[in-house]
């Protein structure tokens, strides 16, 4: 893990692509002076569930996964985090602990802002605070939708939901190359790795998708959506 002060190029990207853009120029300068960036290698933990929450994290390069660990060494992947997005969590303003873990899916750069400084910005700038609440609420809505799918859908429907999420929200394309492993896909769909592989094979044989290693193409999105709704 390589810690360094944020570069001007990355700082400008961050300031214009997330809730930080709602800060005043003076506040942005304050953030510029206290934030730092960390380079994480693929597979490296950015922070771990149960540890103290000391910073708010902004992803400025690469991609990471947010997941919940249970006592049986099984993970539930909640969502993926892309550049410009924030990792905060319910520990903020409550018990100040991380309630999930975050791991880099590829070489990833993250910016860290101390919780106290982030709170200061919220108190000083209502517009910034409201935008942060809006951002968190959108993520909560997406989580509730995922909870509905994993609780009430069969395996075909759950994996269809994961593939549509990757296509529509993460990669914005029906064809994409992912760094996710088959185990990651299974964890995102609340099933075993073996079941995920079996369902992927079924989708492929039905002509709904094409997949080779980490390359995916959704060939019949309508069929995939129908599986999600009926699954």
Q: What is the CATH number of the domain that holds 184?
A: 1.10.10.10
Residue 197 in domain:
yes
pLDDT at 12: 47
Is residue 66 in a domain?
Answer: yes
How many domains, the chain? 2
Alpha-carbon distance of 172 to 74, in angstroms, equals 29
Co-location of 39 and 95 in the same domain: yes
Residue 75 belongs to a domain: yes
Among 112, 127, 142, give the residue marking a domain's end: 127
Residues 60 and 116 in one domain: yes
Nearest to 173 by CA among 230, 143, 215, 117: 215
Q: Which residues contact 192 (CB under 8 A, 6 or more apart)?
A: 186
Shared domain for 169 and 71, answered yes or no, is no
| Same structural domain, 123 and 156 | no
Q: What is the pLDDT of residue 2?
A: 53
What is the DSSP-derived secondary structure letter of residue 190?
T
Domain boundaries, position 71: 2-127
User: Does residue 145 sit within a domain?
Assistant: no
Residues 8, 85: one domain?
yes
Which CA distances in Å does 71 have to 49, 74, 76, 184? 12, 7, 12, 18
Is there a contact between 187 and 126 (Cβ–Cβ < 8 Å)? no
Burial of 150: CB neighbours in 10 Å, binned 0-12, 13-18, 19+: middle
The count of C-alpha atoms lying within 13 angstroms of the C-alpha of 132, restricted to the half-sphere facing its C-beta, is 22
Asked whether residue 143 is domain-assigned, the answer is no
**What pLDDT is recorded for position 15?**
62
Shared domain for 87 and 197, answered yes or no, is no
Instruction: Confirm whether 93 is domain-assigned.
Output: yes
Residue at 141 is within a domain: no
Same domain (yes/no): 121, 160: no
Is 138 within a domain?
no
Does residue 102 sit in the same domain as residue 65? yes
On whether both 171 and 116 belong to a single domain, the answer is: no
In whole angstroms, what is the distance from residue 188 CA to residue 205 CA?
A: 22
Examine the domain organization and report whether 79 and 179 are in the same domain: no
Pair 20, 116 in one domain = yes
User: Do 122 and 214 belong to one domain?
Assistant: no
Q: Provide the residue-wise pLDDT of the chain in tens; the chain has 231 residues.
A: 555 555 444 454 456 557 888 888 898 888 888 889 999 999 999 999 999 999 999 998 999 999 998 877 788 899 999 998 888 888 988 999 999 999 999 999 999 999 999 999 999 999 999 999 998 899 889 889 988 898 889 999 999 999 999 999 999 999 999 999 999 999 999 999 999 999 999 999 999 999 999 999 999 999 999 999 987
């Amino acid at each position: 893990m390589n810690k360094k002060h944020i570069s001007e190029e990355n700082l400008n990207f961050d300031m214009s692509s997330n809730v930080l853009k709602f800060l005043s120029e003076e506040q942005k300068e304050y953030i510029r002076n206290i934030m730092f960036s960390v380079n994480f290698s693929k597979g490296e933990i950015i922070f771990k569930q149960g540890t103290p929450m000391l910073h708010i994290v902004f992803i400025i390069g690469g991609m990471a996964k947010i997941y919940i660990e249970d006592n049986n060494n099984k993970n539930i992947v909640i969502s993926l985090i892309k550049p410009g997005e924030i990792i905060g969590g319910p520990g903020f303003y409550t018990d100040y602990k991380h309630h999930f873990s975050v791991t880099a899916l590829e070489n990833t750069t993250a910016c860290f802002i101390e919780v106290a400084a982030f709170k200061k910005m919220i108190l000083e700038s209502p517009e910034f605070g409201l935008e942060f609440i809006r951002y968190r609420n959108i993520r909560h809505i997406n989580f509730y939708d995922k909870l509905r799918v994993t609780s009430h859908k069969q395996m075909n429907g759950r994996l269809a939901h994961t593939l549509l999420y990757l296509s529509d929200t993460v990669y914005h394309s029906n064809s994409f190359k992912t760094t996710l492993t088959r185990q990651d896909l299974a964890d995102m769909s609340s099933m075993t790795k073996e079941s995920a592989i079996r369902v992927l094979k079924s989708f492929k044989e039905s002509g709904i998708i094409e997949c080779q290693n980490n390359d995916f193409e959704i060939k019949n999105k309508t069929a995939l959506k129908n599986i999600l709704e009926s699954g």
